[in-house]
Amino acid sequence: MDRIPLISQEPVEGAIQGHVIKGITHSQKSFRPGDWPERLTGVITLFVGERRPGIHIACTRLAMPVVDAGTKCLFVSEELRVVCADAFDFVMRFAKDNDLPVETRRAQRLGSAEVFGEEAS
């Protein structure tokens, strides 16, 4: 799951600005089900209609499951707000409704081959 490295807030060339939704509530309880980041990524993929040839799972460059300090999280690119405001609002409401903390963070931009584990040609 940990495909894109989260980085510090200092400006970094090529970094993606976004939001990390933590999989642990404000009262420090693990959010369940355990595959919630993957499920939410699938919902966002439906909103934006992004499909990747040869990839059999729902995925989008605009939201990606990550692990941060041992906690399952969802990184949501700030670009999602522009591409599909409804999807962005949905995911932020999801976090609020489920008492999940949201942090503004940056992530390293990766090429699709790096994200999906393909060999570079």
d(CA 19, CA 82): 14
What is the residue-averaged pLDDT of the chain?
79
Residue 1 lies in a domain: no
Beta pairing partners, 18: 77, 105
Question: Do the domain assignments include residue 115?
Answer: no
3-state secondary structure of 48: helix
Q: Please count the structural domains in the chain.
A: 1
Domain membership flag for residue 42: yes
pTM for this prediction: 0.74
Torsion of CA 72, 83, 5, 93, to 10 degrees: -30
- Dihedral of the CA atoms 63, 65, 46, 58 (nearest 10)? 120
Does a structural domain hold residue 119? no
Poorest-pLDDT segment among 50-59, 79-88, 92-101:
50-59
41 domain residue, yes or no: yes
Whether 17 is in a domain gets the answer yes
Amino acid identity, position 26: H
Task: Give residue 42's pLDDT band: very low, low, confident or very high (50, 70, 90).
Answer: confident
pLDDT at 90 over 60: yes
The tokens for 120 are 């570079």
The whole domain housing 11 covers 6-110
Residue 80 lies in a domain: yes
Cα separation, 106 vs 116, whole angstroms: 19
Report CA-CA distances (Å) from 79 to 40, 55, 60, 76, 89. Answer: 17, 22, 12, 8, 12
Q: Which of 81, 80, 108 is nearest to 8 (CA)?
A: 108
Does pLDDT of 1 surpass 50?
no
Domain membership of residue 116 (yes or no) is: no
For residue 52, give the CATH number of its domain. Answer: 3.30.70.2340
